[in-house]
A and B are shown apart, each in its own frame.
Chain A
Amino acid sequence: MYGRKGFKLVSELDVYSDILPFNEALIKEVLQEMQSLYDANVANSNAIRNDNNMALLPSVQLRHIALKRNKRCILAYIYNRMRKLKELRWELGSILPPEINTNLINAEVQWFQSYNKSLAKYMRSLGEDHGFNLTTNMVPPKTLYVEVKCVEDFGKLELDDGQVILLKKNTYHLLPRSVCEPLIRQGILEHKRISRVNINSV
């Protein structure tokens, strides 16, 4: 049945929310199917032209539809992986964790770097001099400080006022919300709770 492999490609997208390893093998199979469909159509078209064998026409049409569908499935597969990658840029930052990188094909790694570059250039163009970072301040600000638990060793963190905090696994901290946001998204910190804080005691 034509297009079954193309369908399999697309189904991979639905079921999982993370980016799976790029299914190079399946892509190759779909491309091979396209090639043989195409070759068959070339042969049939010649026969139609030369021998006026119109009976072949429906087969040609069917193969043509299957070809278009296969192309569509492949492009949908690539496009949707790209969309997930794009989301990850906003969620995790400009460097992807190794466990995601290993699932990408080289062209996707290239795409991610180009997107990064493009985005950085755009953000730098905002405002008069130093640009404006669009990857922070993504949630409505609530309190200035948040209580967080460090769940992964991170090391030293320097705050805007020069203070240096050591983020060790299983330690608790009261930190400025804007500093925590990206670290929480990256899974290094976890909300303890939004606290009622007497700033003067910090």
Chain B
Amino acid sequence: MEDNGDVTMTAEDDGQEEEEVTAQSVLLAIEEAWLNEKFAPEILPHRSDLVDCMLQQITHMEENMKRLDKEDLRLMIHRMELDRIKYVITNYLRARLEKIEKYTIHILSQEATRSSEECYLTVAELQFAKEFLANIEMLFKTIALQHMPGNFQTFEVDTLTVKPNLQAYVFLRANDRINGIIVPGSMDEEIDLEPGSQHIIQYSAVADLVKSGAVKLI
């Protein structure tokens, strides 16, 4: 079996420089993306780069495993690790789908304001969101709306929109040193975060920091 040492690949960093990353670092990044997505009230920018890369790793590994003898110890060990990785990927993507299903109208309207470089949803997620909304509209119309009098028949997008609560409190750990976060609700109280420190604060105060990777949600 061609065990190729610590797997290295090249990945594009913002489409500018090519950065060598290891499979290990991609895995760590996906785990962080999973937890961020799990704890953030709003949907975060997608990390399909990480997902695609890791799925490729998994396929590659599974190909290699086919060539192993059934009794080979590595078979069991690789299988266990792959199960763990699949679990993380599955739950990362499911957390996103759940938000898409919960905040469909809101997410679609926000996404419409973003350019294709800044988009939060993948092409496939966007399609899923649109179909989800269309299916709900069809459901409402068929059973109820078309039988309602006058302009009660409308699918009132505004009334039906559910928005995430960005004021919700989150737990975070600072990855970098961050100065000057304004504590919401205070009289302009400012705090600094030491790298590695842990805090609880309103999500809205740190949303950008989560998206930039300066802090991670725990």
Chain A positions within 8 Å of B, measured between CB atoms, are: 27, 31, 34-35, 38-39, 42, 67-68, 71, 74-75, 78-79, 82, 86, 105, 107-108, 110-111, 114-115, 118-119, 121-122, 125-129, 132, 134, 136-141, 144, 161, 177-178, 199
A199 to B80, CA, bound (A): 13
Q: Is the CB of A128 within 8 A of B135?
A: no
The interface residues of chain B lying within 8 Å CB-to-CB of A86 are 101
- The secondary-structure label for the interface of chain B is helix
Q: Can you list 26 A-B pairs, Cβ within 8 angstroms, ordered by A?
A: A31-B144, A31-B147, A34-B152, A35-B149, A38-B150, A39-B149, A67-B152, A71-B144, A71-B152, A75-B144, A78-B143, A108-B139, A108-B143, A110-B138, A118-B131, A118-B132, A122-B97, A126-B51, A127-B51, A132-B90, A134-B90, A136-B86, A137-B87, A138-B94, A161-B70, A178-B83
Q: Is the CB of B76 within 8 A of A144?
A: yes
Chain B residues lying within 8 Å of A107, measured Cβ to Cβ, are: 138-139, 142-143
With the chains together, A140 CA to B89 CA distance in Å?
11
Cβ of B21 under 8 Å from chain A: no
B118 within 8 A of A: no
Cα distance, A177 to B90, chains bound together (Å)? 16
List residues of chain A with CB within 8 A of the CB of B124: 121-122, 125-126
Residues of B near A128 (CB, < 8 A) are: 52, 55-56, 59
Contact of A144 among B80, B94, B143, B144 (CB under 8 A): B80
Chain A residues closer than 8 Å to B70, beta-carbon distance:
161
Closest residue on chain A to residue B131 by CB atoms? A118
Closest to A117 in B: B131
Q: Are A38 and B152 in contact (CB under 8 A)?
A: yes
B 40-74 binary contact with A (CB < 8 Å = 1; else 0):
00000000000110011001000000000010000
Among residues of A, the one whose C-beta sits closest to the C-beta of B154 is: A71
Q: Is there a chain A Cβ closer than 8 Å to B84's Cβ?
A: yes
Q: Is residue B175 within 8 Å, beta carbon to beta carbon, of the partner chain?
A: no
Known: A39-B149, A136-B90. 10 other contacts (CB 8 A): A31-B144, A68-B152, A78-B139, A78-B144, A110-B138, A114-B131, A132-B89, A134-B93, A137-B87, A138-B94
Interface check B202, CB cutoff 8 A? no
C-alpha gap A74/B149 in the complex (Å): 14
Question: How many angstroms between the C-alpha atoms of A42 and B93 in the bound complex?
Answer: 50
Interface-central residue, A79, A122, A136, A161, by most chain B CB under 10 Å: A122
Are B128 and A118 in contact, with the CB atoms below 8 A? yes
Which B residues touch A119, using CB under 8 A? 128
Minimum C-beta distance from B24 to chain A (A): 19
In the bound complex, CA of A134 to CA of B94 (Å): 7
Question: Residue B111 at the A interface, CB < 8 A?
Answer: no
A140 to chain B: which residues have CB within 8 Å? 84, 87
Q: Contact: A127 with B148, CB < 8 Å?
A: no
A143 nearest in chain B by CB position: B80
In the complex, which residue of chain A has the Cβ closest to the Cβ of B91? A138
Residues of A within 8 A of B171 (CB): none
